[in-house]
Structure 1
């Protein structure tokens, strides 16, 4: 598995944002107000992924209290790397969707419903970007460190 490229994540944010913005031009009036519940959900997932990443990295590097712990299972680390990559990609798409909402309602913030949707969609997009960062961090934590013995040869 190759590391996630920033250009892929950028495309996964921009394309859904433009598609949602275009779709909302015709269907926004039929939608209910956006719920705020995705914000804490994304942030809790980000905290969980970051916490898991730190623990996994410490086990891989044999640091501190992790030295007395069992050795790391390579299959578990591979699964965590895939989880990090998948959550970064999914969070990028969700950030794009909610940025599309931000783009659509940003021009008319004097109406209460539009202002509410703007704040909710902006907070949700920001929390999705935090989750994307946590997914990238988890993916990075699962990398195998370079062997220092190879440099001596």
Structure 2
């Protein structure tokens, strides 16, 4: 049994995403401070991350209903649920890193907002960090939605 527990996939905890966010924040600050002139950031990451978050949130809601076998839903295949868990874990790790990186960039330029370029970088980096946070929340919700509920049918009759 101990060998089986080592290979078992565990839920994403708070430590790895927090560590990735801190590492991303440090990288964002270091990169921003090492550049002599900041190029404007593309704003297209913001709607992209928001759309990904909405898609994962919607999928999480549907998946949770399907795993709980609510009326009007068809059961989910185990391989599909495993793929969704892999997507959720990858999205959570990426979103943590992106959240930290862009928050670090926004923090780094926050003291020089009188320059128009820095103001633009600040708003875009802050918007991207917030949308990455939304993706992180949706990814963690999708991972949670893929959990199998406890079997209540295993109890003997008459025991609640």
Q: Does the TM-score normalized on the shorter chain lie above 0.5?
A: yes
- Displacement of 1:63 in angstroms is 1.2
- In the alignment, does 2:40 pair up with 1:33? yes
- RMSD of aligned C-alpha atoms? 1.4
- In the alignment, does 2:80 pair up with 1:76? yes
- Where has structure 1 moved over 4 Å in runs of 4 or more? none
Distance 1:38 1:23 in 2: 18
Distance 2:113 2:84 in 1: 41
Residue 13 to residue 111, structure 1, CA distance change in 2 (3 Å): same
- In the alignment, does 2:112 pair up with 1:108? yes
Distance 1:23 1:116 in 2: 17
Distance 2:146 2:93 in 1: 17
Distance 1:151 1:35 in 2: 56
Q: Which structure has the highest helix share of the two?
A: 1
SS in 1 for 2:112: coil
- Displacement of 1:90 in angstroms is 0.4
Q: What 5-or-longer segments of structure 2 have no aligned partner? A: 1-8
Residue 109 to residue 77, structure 1, CA distance change in 2 (3 Å): same
Deviations 1:96-147 (A, max 9, x none): 1101211210001111110011011001000000000000000000001111
- In the alignment, does 2:87 pair up with 1:62? no
State the TM-score, normalizing by the size of structure 2: 0.88
- Displacement of 1:13 in angstroms is 0.5
Distance 1:23 1:120 in 2: 16
